[in-house]
Amino acid sequence: MGASLSLLTEHGSGNGCPSLGDIPESCVACVFLYLTPPEICNLARLNRAFRGAASSDAVWEAKLPSNYHNLLDLLPRTDGDAHHKLSKKAIFAILSRPHPFDDGNKEVWLDRFTGRVCMSISAKAMSITGIEDRRYWNWVPTEESRFPVIAYLQQIWWFEVAGVVKFPFNPDVYTLSFRIHLGKFSKRLGRRVCNFEHTHGWDIKPVRFELSTSDGQQASTECFLDDIEQDGANGNQKRGRWIDYKVGEFIVSESDPETEVRFSMKQIDCTHSKGGLCIDSVSIIPSDLRVCRRRVFLK
């Protein structure tokens, strides 16, 4: 393929054969409608017609979600509606970068391959039982998150974390997941180390995850966060690593009105304490993107 393209230069091969430069820009644009944004940007380097098609508003508008104007409204404005006056390619480039909102506790962006809406919600935006008492919880600075801090639980009996987001999600099927880490991590002499001094209680009773939407959709699941028995060869596979726990899926049929999503995780059996847990965030992304690009769960 690469060799063939190298022969089809903008000015032809010199033997009367057609070249890429002979293809009308409108035809190239029609082909680009079926390609991903990274593929379009790579092909734009071939010749003038490809560059022109790769800058076409019609091509890039097809890659943007139907409600991209709502996403632009979240951006800081220095010149009124300046963002709305940009080319569609420039708008896609801007929206494919994470943009914070709600005091920086939430981020939204477009997946750069599909142009679909993704969101991450910091633990700071959630209601956490006992978070104000430093005997139980602490906010820990980190470089392992989208956000500057994570919530670390030392020990508690009534464990409950809940949150809500109201947003004009584009029509799609979304998966909501909690990002959790067993053990407290830090760096020592440049190396990542984990301390499991406070990690206990997560193998006694399962944690219950729930979500519900403003249009009546519900999902729930239960999961033990810690291994009851360790694998002799590999050790405990749930400690010392970030794991995305899927809560469930919900469907958005229309972006107007806004969809309200409530989510929670809880273990409120007070017969035993539990601790040594980090909570980073909740992610809401299109379900098939999670399958294709999810973080490594168990190696």
Evaluate whether 203 touches 226 at the Cβ level (below 8 Å). Answer: yes
Q: What is the pLDDT of residues 10-51, one digit of tens each?
A: 555 555 566 666 678 788 888 888 899 999 999 888 888 888
Residue 4, pLDDT > 60, answer no
Q: What is the pLDDT of residues 51-104, one digit of tens each?
A: 888 888 999 999 999 889 889 988 876 544 677 688 999 999 999 999 999 999
Residue 231, pLDDT > 60, answer no
How far is the C-alpha of 128 from the C-alpha of 136, rounded, in Å?
Answer: 11
pLDDT computed for residue 289 by the predictor: 83
The gap from C-alpha 211 to its chain's centroid, in whole angstroms, comes to 17
- The CA–CA distances, whole Å, from 93 to 63, 157, 192 equal 11, 46, 34
How far is the C-alpha of 79 from the C-alpha of 101, rounded, in Å?
Answer: 19
Q: What is the pLDDT of residues 116-129, one digit of tens each?
A: 999 999 999 999 99
pLDDT computed for residue 53 by the predictor: 87
Torsion over CA of 250, 251, 255 and 257, rounded to 10 degrees?
Answer: -70
DSSP 1: -
pLDDT computed for residue 81 by the predictor: 61
First-to-final CA distance of the chain = 35
Tokens 């500057």, located at residue: 148
Mean pLDDT of the chain: 86
* Spatial CA neighbour of 289 closest among 169, 110, 38, 163: 110
3-class DSSP state for residue 50?
helix
CB atoms within 10 A of CB 158: 14
pLDDT computed for residue 236 by the predictor: 65
pLDDT computed for residue 2 by the predictor: 44
Cis peptide before 206 (omega within 30 of 0): no
pLDDT computed for residue 45 by the predictor: 86
Entry pTM: 0.85
